[in-house]
Structure 1
Amino acid sequence: MFRNEAKELFSEFVIEHKENVYRLAYSYVKNEQDALDIVQDSIVKGLKSLRSLKDEKLVKSWFYRIVVNTSLDFLRKHKKVQVVDDIEIHAPFEETKYHDIDLERALELLPIQYYEIINLRFFEDLKLEEISFVLKLPLNTVKTRLYRALKILRINME
C-alpha cells in the first residue's frame, strides 16, 4: 500500500470510527480528558507507524491495538493499574457509562486480562480473531479468557 493511500485510509477510518475509538480509550481510563489525550496520542502513533499496516482490511484491529497499548501505557504511567501476582487489575472506576450497577461492579472486579476481552468483544463488537490480533494473544487464549471472564461475571452477578 502506498503511503498516501495508507494515510487516506487511516484518516477515513479515524473520522468514521472516532466515537468507537474514544469509547475504547474511555473504557480504560474512565475520564473524558484522558481518553481524548489517548485518542490523540494513538492517532499520532498510527500515523508514524502506517508502514506497519500491511493489509487495509486490518486497519480496525491494527488501530485498536495502538489504542489499547496507549491506554495501558497511560494507566501504568499514572499508577492506575496495579500488578498483583503478575495479574493486572484496574483501579476503581471514577465514572461510568454503564446503566446496570451490578454489571458495573462485576466488571470492576475483573482482572484486566479478562476485562479487556469482555470490553473488546461485547462493547466494541470485535470478533475473537480481531481480539487476538489487538491483544497479541493466541486465539485459544482469547477463547479461554472469554470463557473464564463470563464465568466470573456470572458468579459476581449472582
Structure 2
Amino acid sequence: MDNHIKLVKKAIRGNDKAFEKLVEIESEKLYRTALLYAGNKEDALDVLQETIYKAYISIDQVKQPEFFSTWLTKILIRTSYDFLKKKKKIILDENYLSAQHAKNNSDIEGKLDLLHVISKLNRDYQTVIILFYYHDLPIRCIGETLNMAENTVKTNLRRAKIELKRLLGGMEYEQTAFQ
C-alpha cells in the first residue's frame, strides 16, 4: 500500500502527525495555487491557512484516501473563491513581484501579464487553466475535482485558452505561456 494512502488513513483516524505530514507534502502545490487565486503572498498564506484548518476539522469526511489531494484541492478552490468574494478584487502585490523579478529576470513581465489575465477569467475557465497547467492534472482528474463532465472540462479549457489569447491581445502565448 502506498505510504501516502497510509498517512491519509492515519489522519482520518485522528493522527495529527500524519495530517501534518500530508500538509507538508501538499503545501507547495497548495501555496502556488492559492497565490494564483489571491494574487499576493499574504493573501495566499491566509487562504492556505484557512484551507488547512477546514481540511483538519473535516478530515473524517474523506471517503477515498487515494483522492485526498483532490479533496484538499476542492477545499482550496472554495476557500479561494470565498476569500475573493470578501475582498471583491484581485490585487497583485508589487513587493512580491519585485522580489520575483530580482530572483528571475526571465520574462517576468510576460508571466505577470499572464497571471493578471488569468485572474480576469470567469471562475470555470480560471479553475481549469490552473488545474491543467499549474497542477498538471489530466482532464479526467479535473472533471472529478470539479464534479464536471470531461467534455465540459475540455470545452472550458478550450474557451479559456481562446479568452486568454484575446485578453493578451493575440500575443503568441499558445506554446510558451504555461511553461
- Name the TM-score, length of structure 2 as normaliser: 0.70
Aligned partners of 1:117 and 1:145 also within 8 Å? yes
CA distance in 1, matches of 2:40, 2:113: 21
Residue 150 of structure 1 pairs with residue 161 of structure 2: yes
Equivalent-residue separation in structure 1 for 2:149 and 2:77 (angstroms): 17
- Any runs of at least 4 consecutive aligned residues in structure 1 with deviations exceeding 6 A, and if so which? none
1:13 aligned counterpart, secondary structure: helix
Match of 1:26 among 21, 27, 35: 35
* Identical amino acids, percent of aligned pairs: 32
Q: 1:78 to 1:14 in 2, by over 3 A?
A: same
The secondary structure found in structure 2 opposite 1:17 is: helix
Checking the alignment, whether the CA contact within 8 Å between 1:132 and 1:139 is kept in structure 2 is yes
Letter in 1 for 2:118: L
1:111 aligns with 2:122: yes
Match status 1:125 vs 2:144: no
Q: Is the 8 A contact 2:39 2:91 kept in 1?
A: no
Residue 76 of structure 1: aligned partner: 85
One-letter code aligned to 1:146: L
Counterpart in the other structure of 2:50: 41
Per-residue deviation at 1:109? 4.1
Kindly indicate which of the two structures has a greater share of residues assigned to strand: 1
Secondary structure of 2:24's aligned partner:
helix
Size of the aligned set, in residue pairs, is: 148
Change (3 A) 1:120 1:19: same
* Mapped contact 1:93–1:108 kept (Cα < 8 A): no
* Greater gyration radius: 2
Does structure 2 conserve the Cα–Cα contact (< 8 Å) formed by 1:92 and 1:108?
A: no
